[in-house]
C-alpha cells in the first residue's frame, strides 16, 4: 500500500525557513568573526543569536522524531487531567488563544481522517514532545562555557521553555474534551445487551 504524501503545513515550512536563514546568518557571522575578517563583538553575538535560534528549532525537529520511539497513549497516568487544571485554563484564558497557535502537523488532528482515540493519543504524544523540548532547552546553558554570558543563554532557555509550555497547555486543555466525546460515543453496556 502506497503511503500518502503529506503536504507540509505553514508552520513546518516556516520552521525550516527560519532554520535555513538562521544557519546562513550564523555561518557568515562566524566566518567573519573567527576568520579575522571582521572581528567585532556585534558580529559574534549576532552569529551566536542565530546559532541559538537554529539550535533550538533543529533540536525540536530531532526530538519530535525520537519521541516516536516511545509508546504513548492518552490513558497513561501522566496525561490524565489534574484537579487544578480547569481553573488554570480559565485563568490563562486558553480557550480564547489556543486556536491562534501554530500546529506543525495539523493533519494529525483531522477528525475526518482520524478517530477521536487517535487524536487523543496524538495530544499525549505532542505533549511529551514539548516536555522533552523544555528539558533540552536547558542545554543552551552549555554554550556559556564557549562564549560566556550565561545570562543570555539562560534567557533563551526560559523563552524556549515558555514557547513549549503554550503547546503543553493546549494539549492538556483539549484532551479531556476529546475523551468526553470518546466516552459519549461509546455504546452503553446495557445497550449492547439488548438485542
Residue 125 contacts residue 79 (beta carbons within 8 Å): no
> Sorting pLDDT into bands at 50, 70 and 90, what band is 191?
very low
Q: How would you label 115-127 residue by residue, b for 16+ Cβ within 10 Å and e otherwise?
A: ebebbbbbbbbbb
Where b means 16+ CB within 10 Å and e means fewer, 78-98 reads ebeeeeeeeeebeeeebeeeb
Do residues 118 and 74 make contact, with C-beta atoms less than 8 angstroms apart?
no
DSSP letters spanning 38-93: S--HHHHHHHHHHHHHHHHHHHHHHHHHHGGGS---TTSGGGSPPTTHHHHHHHHT
User: What is the pLDDT, as a whole number, of residue 5?
Assistant: 62
115-130 per-position pLDDT tens digit: 888 889 989 999 999 9
Share of the chain above pLDDT 70, in %: 92
pTM for the whole thing? 0.81
Task: Flag the least confident range among 70-74, 77-81, 162-166, 183-187.
Answer: 183-187
Above 70 in pLDDT, residue 141? yes
Q: What is the rounded average pLDDT of the residues 23-30?
A: 96
Domain map of the chain by residue range?
10-188
User: What pLDDT shows up at residue 63?
Assistant: 85
Amino acid at each position: 500500500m502506497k503511503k500518502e504524501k503529506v503536504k507540509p503545513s505553514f508552520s513546518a515550512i516556516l520552521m525550516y525557513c527560519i532554520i535555513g536563514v538562521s544557519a546562513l546568518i550564523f555561518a557568515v557571522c562566524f566566518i567573519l568573526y573567527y576568520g579575522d575578517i571582521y572581528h567585532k563583538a556585534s558580529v559574534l553575538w549576532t552569529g551566536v543569536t542565530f546559532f541559538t535560534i537554529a539550535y533550538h528549532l533543529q533540536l525540536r525537529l530531532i526530538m519530535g522524531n525520537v519521541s516516536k520511539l516511545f509508546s504513548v497513549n492518552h490513558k497513561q497516568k501522566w496525561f490524565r487531567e489534574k484537579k487544578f487544571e480547569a481553573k488554570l485554563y480559565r485563568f490563562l484564558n486558553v480557550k480564547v488563544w489556543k486556536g491562534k497557535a501554530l500546529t506543525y502537523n495539523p493533519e494529525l488532528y483531522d477528525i475526518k481522517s482520524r478517530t477521536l482515540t487517535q487524536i487523543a493519543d496524538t495530544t499525549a504524544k505532542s505533549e511529551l514532545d514539548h516536555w522533552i523540548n523544555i528539558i533540552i532547552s536547558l542545554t543552551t546553558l552549555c554554550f556559556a562555557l564557549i562564549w560566556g554570558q550565561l545570562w543570555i543563554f539562560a534567557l533563551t532557555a526560559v523563552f524556549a521553555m515558555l514557547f513549549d509550555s503554550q503547546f503543553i497547555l493546549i494539549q492538556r486543555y483539549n484532551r479531556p474534551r476529546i475523551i468526553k466525546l470518546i466516552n459519549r460515543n461509546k455504546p452503553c453496556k446495557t445497550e449492547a445487551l439488548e438485542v
